Every structure is written in structure tokens, then in C-alpha cells.
Amino acid sequence: MKKDIILAGVGGQGILTIATIIGHAATRVGLNLKQAEVHGMSQRGGDVQSNLRLSHDVIYSDLIRQGAADLIISMEPMEALRYVSFLNKDGRIVTSSHPFKNIPNYPDEEALASELAALPGATSLAIDDMARENGMPKCANVILLGMAAPYIEILTPAQLRESVAQVFAAKGETIAEMNLRAFDMGLNAVTKE
């Protein structure tokens, strides 16, 4: 089994933290892993994207070709749509519904939402609102990872949850617990659909 995942967002949204957690879980269970990152202008709110390839077999390239991605996990709806051409015919998109307007000519929000809703296999939630309303404003990315967990498939939600605990352990018990709650919130939001 293999899973090709594109992670997308804007600098500062925590995309590389999501990659770290997934990578941690993959190496813990003995999967092969290749990752390619394109940071863009992350310090100025620019495009941040990462290719993450997981497999039981050897992986020869760290890049995902167009039409081959199984999953897009995106912190920003426009960034999710930017990579739709990379999805395979059964691919899924898991994204935040809240735009991060970092450019003056940002597309119309309703048009973006309609375009996402028209795609088969697209799931979006207002993760930024969920994070704020639950007193964890810096955990929206981990809520998103929880949403995506059932679709990663090569790793179980439990394996990903364990890596959330281990990756955040160095920041203290309070931060680790907050991120575990965030992961569970995202996971429960999609399993109730």
C-alpha cells in the first residue's frame, strides 16, 4: 500500500508541523517515507507546499506527479484548489473553509466554496473558528490533521494521535493535551458526517 499526500497552505499556518507528525508516525511503524518541501515565501504569508509519500515498498522519488495524489490536506481553500490537478480520480481534499487573504486579488469566497463543494471527495470545515471557540487558536492545523486522519489510511488515526502526543511532548503536558484535543475534535467532526 502507498499514500501520496500534498500538504498545502500559507506560511505560518502549520503545514510543516502536519508533515512532521505524519512523518513521525510513518517512521515509528516502519513505513518508507519521502518528503519534498517547497516553502515559497513562507515568512511573508506565501504559498507553502509539501509532497509526502508513504509506502510499504521502496519509494524512488520524493515528488508526486500530476494525477497521482491520493489526498490534499490544505489549511487554505484557494491553496487546496491550486493542486487539484495533482489528484488521482479517487483522490480526496480535506481543507479549511476559511480563506487566508494574503493577496490583493484574492478570489471571491463564495466562488471558492462552490468550486470546492462541486468536487467529489472534498471535505471542508471552519477549523480556525473551531480552534478559537475551544481556546486553542494555534491548533487549527492539528484539527485539520484529525479531519484528514481517516483518509490517510496507510496510518491509523490512533497511530497519528500517538505521534501528536510524542511530537508535542517536548512543549509540555498542557500543550500536548491541547493538541490531542484538537486532533480528536477534527477526527470526530468527519466521523460524524
CA nearest neighbour of 79 among 116, 105, 44: 116
CATH number at residue 150: 3.40.920.10
Range of the domain at 42: 2-191
> Is 27:16 a contact under the CB 8 Å cutoff?
no
Residue count (the chain)? 193
Please give the pLDDT value at position 43.
Answer: 54
Predicted model pTM: 0.93
Residue 56 DSSP label: S
How many structural domains are present in the chain?
1
Task: Look at strands 47-55 and 32-38 and give their pairing.
Answer: antiparallel
80-137 pLDDT per residue, tens: 999 999 999 999 999 999 888 877 888 888 998 899 999 989 999 999 999 999 999 9
